[in-house]
Structure 1
Amino acid sequence: MESHAIEKAPHTTDAEENPGIKTETPHGSEPRRQKWYEWFAPTDTPAERKLILKLDGLIIVFVFLAYWAKVLDSSATSTAYVSGMKEDLRLYGNQLNYLQTVYMVGFITMQIPLTLVMTRCPVNYFLPAADLLWGVFTLAQYKASNVTQLYALRFFVGALGGFFFPAVQWYLGSWYKRSELSRRGAIFFIASQVGSMSSGYIQAGAYARLDGRYGIEGWRWLYIICFACTIPIAFLGLCLLPSTPDKCTSRFLSADEIRLAQERMASENREARQPFTKSKVIQILKGWRLWVLVAFAFFFSQADGVSSNSGLPLWLKAEGYSVENINTITTVSPAVTIVASVICAVFSDIYNAKASLIATTAVLNIFACIVLAIWNVPVGLKFFAFFLSGTADGIAAIIYAWANDICAHSAEERAIVISTMNTIGNTFGAWIPLFVWKTVDAPRYLIGYNWTIALDVCMLVMLVVLQKFWAREQKRSRS
């Protein structure tokens, strides 16, 4: 269906520049700003509100559930290893490390190619189909009889799961306005935190109740459960997901709603997909957006080291806390991440305060790491610092929402930039912790905490650079 662009009048107001933020009251008084608890913008028409609710039901439900299921698998191999797989498959030496390496090779090398392939295909089929294949390869691991088979299977599991995050960020940017995108991205991102909080309980319960059932070892049941969670979600996606507005087919969206979605994206200058030519690739590589955003993403992606490198549980163990208490206390960090993600997303959408939120989060993380680097501080302050570091990932959704906005003029550039941002972060995240977050330094990771401080300082510098480039481009577009 043909897209209908909406031209902006010369006297466009701030409310029209940022739809959903402000609107004039009936009597022409001060414009009313959207409240933090309001899901819709004051300027949204009844038709838009109905469309937004439909999109949330069709898209957000699927991507949340699918991401949650993938987090279950990311911890399944480590759980299986200590639950009998090591002995059954004779995994001695560094085989577990090699399994993780093979997984990361598939995860990293296929992110950009598969994200770009998705932009050429009907997204409503591509995402669920990849999810379905991911489930099949996950299930196949339960039949593995030697480590060589596991190596091959882990590569494909990594490849089919790795591109999901950048692909979904691109997909959300194809449907939602800038004043809606951060909240949807946050809901999607929160699935990973919910998954990390629930995976241990699910896997422990499954092993306790299913070990030996039907002659199947408990560690093999873990992969069967991951498959059982994934397949219904994949079929749900096949039934619900619409493609992108430019070439949309959906049994749940009317022709008028598809046209409205196209007009909404046109008002955001969000371009539809175009042919992927050599000249376009060269233009993207020569532009500032790719390099500045990827450099920014590198510093952000490594700055969550405090919460992702087991400092808190190892400290609690050294202090003599029970296993039950350790498992309970460590759930606070992902809970903090969830709360921070929601707060950042709401303020980002309503106040368009991306830069301020990123800067505030970096400063909070610097403070937490300074406390932990000093180490000899009151116990309450140390707990506070560990928990405060959970805010570091709270800005993930707004960073990718900002990338969607900055690269709005080209669907192809959005795909390349977003997937490269995520790929670079994962690439460096696969080996830097080996040197910075050494287990022998635990629980006082002095190098790691100082490294994180340096990362956050660099992120603040890159934030200034990014703002200057973005402001210059906006000024040029207005002239």
Structure 2
Amino acid sequence: MGITSGLKKFGNYLITNESEASKSLPDEFLDKSIDVTRGEPAKRDGRWQKIFAFIYVFDWYPSHYSKFEKWHVFKVDIAVTLFCALSFFTKYLDQMNLTNAYVTGMKEDLNLNGNELNIFSTFYNIGYCVGQIPAMFFITKKGWARWLLIVCESIWGICTFANAAVHTAEHIYVIRFFVGLSEAASFPGQYYIISSWYTPEELSRRAGFYNFCSGVGTMVAGYIQSGAHSSLNGRNGLEGWRWQFIIDGLITAVVTIYGIIVFPGTPNHIEKHAILGHDDLVFARRRLKEHKVVQSKSWDAATFKKIIFSWEFILLPFLWIVHHQITYSSAFSLYLKSEGYSVADRNNIPTVSAAIGSVSMLLVPTLCDVYGRFNITMVCFIIEYFSNIILIVWNVPQGLKFVGFFLSTVWYGLAPSWYSWAAIICKDSAEKKGLILALMHSYSYATQAWTIPLQWNLKHSPRFLMGWSINLGFVFIGQILFYVIFYLAKKQHKSDLRYELDVSDKSSDELSVDDEIVKTELTLGEKNLVK
């Protein structure tokens, strides 16, 4: 009887969401003089303003915001966006350091003469897949958002340190599994938390910066390995590649401490934290209500059935799988090693690719908003076709080959664009949005766990003719999928517009909560959905 009662209580806890938990939190300012009234937004309908509209990606604190709102958003940037961005930075720093170590002496020191580099990725992907759905589920529970991310950051930092002490491939297999397991909460979980604090307009700017930091992490990993090899190789009996893991672990530890100090989690379970006072949290919750950010409801069989029989449940994860298949970050470094480039060049030259990818992730989502999702996405496809064809042909001037490697990372810019697009498409249900965003990431890593060792088998290094040829096929499949989803999303939007016309005939008293949400979501998401 006691066990049954305990399981029942735990079950009730699992279906209790943050919106229910937040009902008891205060909703009145302590400072009654606070004025949050906005002014009139500046008009940006001039010819030159439209041409250079992408510049507004850097307008994080619009002039029409009240003084209190500007200061509030700035503090949220420091406490939430900056921590999540730094965490995402360390994720890619700790993810790329293995490839950098491999081409800087680890291969020879550990006698790695087979396909071990790809198998390391397989164990990482398995851990990531195992942790993805549970992490995304628990991060919506009261009080979990803050500590889950901090604990996970700590674990992958410890694992990064542990890489400095490995002596066999088997040691790395175990470590990479736990790195993947602990990093599973990072991307979808942090995206969920960031979206809990910002309006849709603010979110698009922060999402670009957030993804930009992943590319910076890839770049910095190369520079750290290059510096560690030239300055620390042999120090205290440790090879340079081992020092890289120690340095990366220290950086991760600093980010963890920063998160412990300032990171609040979501606004729906706390009254104040660090630099965010009582009135900041009250205002944050008010903004969620005003912008009709859909809150989670309790799961039931009908909700689950509706989700799994939707086209989004099938096509959006499939699109994300294809997107992640169209890259192999180790290819350039392996090519440089085979050509006899110095250790410094093997680590530094690929940072150009990372820089291009970073800029792409920063700009592409905003360019899609300004110039149309379809147009910008087609440009990215054309560039990816071009770079893949160069690397398939292979026997081209070395400068052109470098161009092929460099331009292949323009594709990275579609990641934040498509992920936020998926969230907008699933606007009608918070449960659908949460589940599908988690499945997109989980399925892509599950697929990579077995496809990478096959598609990019190191016995075909550095040319990887089969790998780049398969890549080209995935680019074509991705283009077809994009067309289909774009059509279905546009069709769905037209259906929502017909619903809006029906809703607009109702009086305010007759509007249900769902009616209000649909009207608001249509207004906020219209451009992003159908462009």
The answer for the alignment partner of 1:74 in structure 2 is 95
The answer for the alignment partner of 1:337 in structure 2 is 357
CA–CA separation in structure 1 for the residues paired with 2:79 and 2:447: 34
- Match of 2:65, SS state, is coil
The AA in structure 2 aligned to 1:265 is L
The AA in structure 2 aligned to 1:160 is S
Higher mean alpha-carbon deviation, 249-258 vs 323-332, is at 323-332
Higher mean alpha-carbon deviation, 243-252 vs 109-118, is at 243-252
Contact 2:146 2:265 in 1 (8 A): yes
The AA in structure 2 aligned to 1:244 is T
The answer for the alignment partner of 2:513 in structure 1 is none
Deviation for aligned residue 1:234: 0.9
Choose the corresponding residue for 1:364, options 376, 379, 383.
383
Is the alpha carbon distance of 1:265 and 1:200 closer, same or farther for their aligned partners in structure 2, counting shifts above 3 Å?
same
CA–CA separation in structure 1 for the residues paired with 2:397 and 2:169: 47
Contact 2:104 2:343 in 1 (8 A): no
Choose the corresponding residue for 2:433, options 407, 414, 427.
414
The AA in structure 1 aligned to 2:161 is L
Deviation for aligned residue 1:174: 1.6
Deviation for aligned residue 1:144: 4.7
Is the alpha carbon distance of 1:257 and 1:404 closer, same or farther for their aligned partners in structure 2, counting shifts above 3 Å?
farther
CA–CA separation in structure 2 for the residues paired with 1:77 and 1:242: 32
Choose the corresponding residue for 1:346, options 366, 371, 376.
366
The answer for the alignment partner of 1:404 in structure 2 is 423
Deviation for aligned residue 1:237: 0.8
The AA in structure 2 aligned to 1:297 is W
The AA in structure 2 aligned to 1:221 is W
1:85-104 alignment runs, 5 A limit? 96-104=117-125
- Match of 2:139, SS state, is helix
Say yes or no: does 1:113 pair with 2:134: yes
CA–CA separation in structure 2 for the residues paired with 1:275 and 1:328: 50
Choose the corresponding residue for 1:202, options 212, 224, 227.
224
Deviation for aligned residue 1:263: 3.2
Say yes or no: does 1:63 pair with 2:52: no
Is the alpha carbon distance of 1:265 and 1:470 closer, same or farther for their aligned partners in structure 2, counting shifts above 3 Å?
farther
CA–CA separation in structure 1 for the residues paired with 2:306 and 2:180: 30
Say yes or no: does 1:51 pair with 2:88: no
1:278-357 alignment runs, 5 A limit? 278-304=301-327, 308=329, 310=331, 314=335, 328-348=348-368, 351=370, 353-357=372-376
CA–CA separation in structure 1 for the residues paired with 2:104 and 2:299: 47
The answer for the alignment partner of 1:251 in structure 2 is 274
1:143-162 alignment runs, 5 A limit? 143-144=165-166, 148-162=170-184
Contact 2:212 2:361 in 1 (8 A): yes
CA–CA separation in structure 2 for the residues paired with 1:316 and 1:148: 24
1:254-265 alignment runs, 5 A limit? 254-265=277-288
Contact 1:311 1:444 in 2 (8 A): no
CA–CA separation in structure 1 for the residues paired with 2:239 and 2:389: 46
CA–CA separation in structure 2 for the residues paired with 1:316 and 1:150: 22
CA–CA separation in structure 1 for the residues paired with 2:387 and 2:109: 43
TM value normalised by structure 2 = 0.73
Residue ranges of structure 1 left out of the alignment (5+ in a row): 6-19
Is the alpha carbon distance of 1:253 and 1:216 closer, same or farther for their aligned partners in structure 2, counting shifts above 3 Å?
same
Contact 1:181 1:401 in 2 (8 A): no
Is the alpha carbon distance of 1:222 and 1:23 closer, same or farther for their aligned partners in structure 2, counting shifts above 3 Å?
closer
- Partner deviation per Cα, 1:431-475 (whole Å, 9 max, x = no partner): 334444455375373614532442342243234244235414532
The answer for the alignment partner of 1:430 in structure 2 is 449
Contact 2:332 2:350 in 1 (8 A): no
- Match of 2:415, SS state, is helix
Is the alpha carbon distance of 1:80 and 1:376 closer, same or farther for their aligned partners in structure 2, counting shifts above 3 Å?
closer
Deviation for aligned residue 1:166: 1.6
The AA in structure 1 aligned to 2:275 is F
Contact 2:388 2:472 in 1 (8 A): yes
- Partner deviation per Cα, 1:161-194 (whole Å, 9 max, x = no partner): 1331121122222222222223212212122211
- Partner deviation per Cα, 1:271-311 (whole Å, 9 max, x = no partner): 23433445433333233333232122223222345xx3525
CA–CA separation in structure 1 for the residues paired with 2:114 and 2:396: 39
Is the alpha carbon distance of 1:348 and 1:180 closer, same or farther for their aligned partners in structure 2, counting shifts above 3 Å?
farther
The answer for the alignment partner of 2:413 in structure 1 is 394
Say yes or no: does 1:468 pair with 2:495: no
The AA in structure 1 aligned to 2:202 is E
The answer for the alignment partner of 1:451 in structure 2 is 473
Deviation for aligned residue 1:269: 2.9
Is the alpha carbon distance of 1:109 and 1:458 closer, same or farther for their aligned partners in structure 2, counting shifts above 3 Å?
farther
CA–CA separation in structure 1 for the residues paired with 2:233 and 2:404: 39
CA–CA separation in structure 1 for the residues paired with 2:191 and 2:366: 17
Is the alpha carbon distance of 1:140 and 1:434 closer, same or farther for their aligned partners in structure 2, counting shifts above 3 Å?
closer
RMSD: 3.8
CA–CA separation in structure 1 for the residues paired with 2:26 and 2:282: 8
Count, aligned residues: 457
The AA in structure 1 aligned to 2:259 is G
Contact 1:271 1:411 in 2 (8 A): yes
The answer for the alignment partner of 1:15 in structure 2 is none
Contact 2:99 2:330 in 1 (8 A): no
Deviation for aligned residue 1:421: 0.9
